[in-house]
């Protein structure tokens, strides 16, 4: 069974933690920037896209990191039983698709959507069409995240 884990965002100037459920980034806990001094300092957001509908996302604020973490976990524990494995798979596919697209561009290759014919050659050597693009990424490159 997966549990929630946190990883510090090393690129953020403010303290920011990314929250993961297994391999899926499900939210963030961070110091809120630009808020008045008398406002709660910490914020949290719980949810991921694609996979969830916008009305399923939750967010809040707290005075302390511990308070934000506790509120995040409460929101996650309320949300998790409502999620199907399909929601997590949607997120994973989008990560693989984005990594694939960037590798294509890094190697100077065009996507099928950038070719007038709708057909292109993948960096793996496969000929791909617009219609077969999602299936190709899922079958050949889903481990790219």
pLDDT digits (tens, 9 = 90+) for 14-29: 899 999 999 999 999 9
- pLDDT tens figures, 99-134: 999 999 999 999 999 999 999 999 999 999 999 999
In whole angstroms, give the CA distance from residue 47 to residue 144: 22
pLDDT classification of 144: cutoffs 50, 70, 90: low
SS (H, E, C) the chain: CCCEEEEECCCCCCCEEEEEECCEEEEEEEECCCCCCCCCCEEEEECCCCCCCHHHCEEEEECCHHHHHHHHHHHHHHHHHHCCHHHHHHHHHHHHHHHHHHHHHHCCCCCHHHCCCCEEECCCCCEEECCCHHHHHHHHCCCCC
């Amino acid at each position: 069974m997966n549990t929630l884990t946190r990883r510090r965002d090393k690129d953020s100037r403010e303290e920011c933690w990314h929250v993961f459920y297994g391999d899926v980034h499900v939210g963030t806990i961070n110091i809120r920037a630009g808020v008045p001094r008398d406002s709660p300092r910490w914020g949290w957001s719980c949810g991921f896209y694609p996979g969830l509908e916008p009305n399923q996302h939750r967010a809040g604020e707290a005075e302390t990191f511990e308070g934000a973490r506790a509120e995040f976990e409460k929101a996650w524990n309320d949300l998790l039983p409502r999620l199907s494995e399909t929601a997590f798979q949607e997120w994973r596919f989008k990560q693989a698709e984005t990594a694939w697209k960037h590798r294509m561009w890094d190697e100077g290759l065009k996507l099928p959507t950038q070719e007038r014919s709708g057909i292109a050659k993948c960096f793996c050597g496969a000929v791909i069409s617009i219609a077969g693009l999602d299936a190709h990424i899922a079958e050949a490159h889903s481990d790219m995240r």
